[in-house]
Chain A
Amino acid sequence: MTSLVTADGLTRVFDDRVAVRDVSLTVNAGEIVCLLGPNGAGKTTTMRMLAGLILPTSGRISINQIEVTEVTAGRARSSVGLLTEAPGLWERLSVRNNLLTYARLHGVADADRSVDQALRHVDLLDRAGDVAGKLSKGLKQRTALARALLHQPPVLLLDEPTSGLDPASARHVRDLIVDLRSEGRAILVSTHNLGEAQQLADRIGVLKTQLLAFDTPRALRQARAGARVVIDLEGSNIPIEKPIDSLSDIPGIVAAIVGDGKRIVRVTPTERSLEDVYLDLVGDER
């Protein structure tokens, strides 16, 4: 699989504050990686470094095979579509004029055609003439997503793409992200929404200044918090819960209980939720 985003040992220090420490991750073509973490965990700083907006204090970044340095950052940015947390549209201009400006900034050959394509992608072609300031939050976010797609970037960095959207708009944006994955793009999504991460992600990174875990959602649930088996017994309201490393542990546990002369009603292997895993990793900060 081709890795389009490679971060190796990224550290970023602002004055004397370490925002991100020693983060290494990859995002492959046709893959969605979700970056989870509490506020101030360094998600936006990581996104900005990967987008070529700011340089790491130490560490190495490669975007679409371009090693990002002060000299190559502009070229690397051409390979990236960044969706910022706030849509950041020019509210007095129409949707079309917003996008045309960005298409020209990216040096897209046929700006009008690429704007039409991007708007069609997010199902907004019929709203091209609308003034951006009059759009709903969901439509603004879709416009911003169209802006990120104008120059056909192989890498998409999406910072809180569904933040503040109503459920229908959020679902529409999530469906779009899944469509974009099927086009072979490498997509990194920063989110607070664990359900969204579980739904979208091929792999999840949990970030709190440093990367605490980076794996598939299933592997995270199994490896980090450990799977369990819940066994209901006849004549008892209190089930037995036992930690297991894998499903193959269950017959032994069942045999031991039966050997004690107890009658088993139901055996339920369970995984802990992503939320449990996440809170275990970052700590419950209530």
Chain B
Amino acid sequence: MSQIDTLRPDKRPTLLQRWGRFWVRTVGDTGILGFGLRWGVLLLFAAYFFIPMLWLVLATSKSAPQLLELPPLAFGSFQRIQEAWQRIIEYQNGEVLQWAFNSIRYTAFGLALSLACCIPAGYILAIARFPGRRLLLWLTLITMLLPPSALVLPMFMELNLVHLINTPWSVILPAAFFPFGTYLTYIYYASSLPRDLLDAARVDGCSEVKLFRHIALPLATPLLGLLAFINFNTNWNNFFGPYVFLNDDRLFNLPVGLQQFVAATSALRPGFNPSPGVMVGYQQAEIAVFGLLMIVPVAIVFLIAQRYVVGGAFTGSIKG
């Protein structure tokens, strides 16, 4: 067989060759033991992450007895899903929809406010030098590494002082402070905005505000994607803040509402004798429907946003 023959594309590779290529592609230089170990671990964790989610989706279709009798990953009936949905909608005259509306409202306002504050700040910290700049950057770094839950109780005292407790503002306003956003914006512009471009525009008589609006902002799309994702996620799942700041249940968001729903109904333990005052007739499927109501929007955002996270905007913010 000549050299040319083996290179001809229309000649099918032998079984052995195909196996060889498959081997190199999949096992490569990890070794056969390493190959098995690698996929063993990866698939084990796939089960860890996937099975609970799958179970939750299937649980919407099962009644309480079916949950016990059917295999855990079996499907119940579509009718049960519809019933569970109906019960959730009818709970306290549609209170769940009110909570969903609150969640959307708090998340949207929080997102808008935080981006409006952190993007101009991060931009100017990157391109201008002014007294107080280093101090502001340091404070940003320190507060950004502080978990938000560290400030919830002190913030309760503060909001109480200005009589904002139990108003939507007690949830929306604190969300406006987003130091991580400012820091990422700062890094983004400091490393990717050509200073010459700005100088040229200034020579042409462009004002600082116009510069920001017409040059800097249009360049920031990937940054906006990442910031919106992080902020949406934090605000949508915010529990500690609303749990402490709100006591009127009409103002709850979905996470606090879910906690209230589970505490007030028999949904988690339908078979047990409930304590007095607990609403009976609710089953686990209702919790699953409620949960999916919270999870699905986030899951969609996660799917869209993954590339921004892997894309290295995070890692760009640290000296490698």
Whether chain B is bound by chain A comes out as no
Q: Which residues of A contact B (CB under 8 A)?
A: none
